[in-house]
Amino acid sequence: MILLRLFYSFFKIGAFSFGGGYAVLAFIQKEIVNLNHWLLPSEFVDVVAISQITPGPIAINAATFVGYKVAGYPGSAVATLGVTLPSFLIIIVIARFFIRFQENHYVKAAFDFIRPATIGLIAAAAVTTAQASIVDIKSALIGIFIFILLYYMKLDTILAIALSAILGLLLYR
């Protein structure tokens, strides 16, 4: 039963997360944290961090991690299958029947609005992860410091996480 729910949740996440990368965070948060309570908000942020320092798409990494945490090896297999299957089915249908699908007028019109909405979803993920992560002055300062390094010095993602881990060790006793 839990395996079926894992599969269904990650299938929905795979089927509706447009835009790749961080865009999937709002979906994972809704399904995994808010609706099913499989992860605490702070654990969700940890999974995002782990996904950032390991190879592969966030959606797959999160599915494997959450599936394992909730139901061990079968859970990780079922969740990963669930998140991959929609891509698989949708792309095969597109490859087979609508090679010219992106040139369709209505498809274009829909995506003109889906693209900016996706930016909003990522912004929402920023707000909700901040609620779980910015818990005091020190964490706020770490966040601002890392953002400045990213924005002005184009700091590498892995270095950003490594640096923030060191800051955490130094500032939290």
- Pick out residues in 105-164 that bind other proteins (CB under 8 A): 105-107, 109-130, 132-134, 138-140, 142-144, 146-147, 150-151, 157-158, 160-161, 163-164
Element (H, E) at 88: helix 58-97
- Pick out residues in 19-58 that bind other proteins (CB under 8 A): 19-22, 24-27, 30, 34, 42, 45-46, 48-58
Q: Which residue has the tokens 């909003």?
A: 120
With CB under 8 A, what is the number of residues at the site for other proteins?
107
Q: How far is the CB of 28 from other proteins (least distance, A)?
A: 9
Residue 6 or residue 48: which is nearer to other proteins going by CB?
48
How far is 78 from 59, CA to CA, in rounded Å?
14
Residue of 91, 97, 137, 153 that binds other proteins (CB under 8 A): 91
| Beta-carbon contacts of residue 121 (< 8 Å; ≥ 6 apart) | 19, 23, 25, 26, 27
How far is 66 from 1, CA to CA, in rounded Å?
16
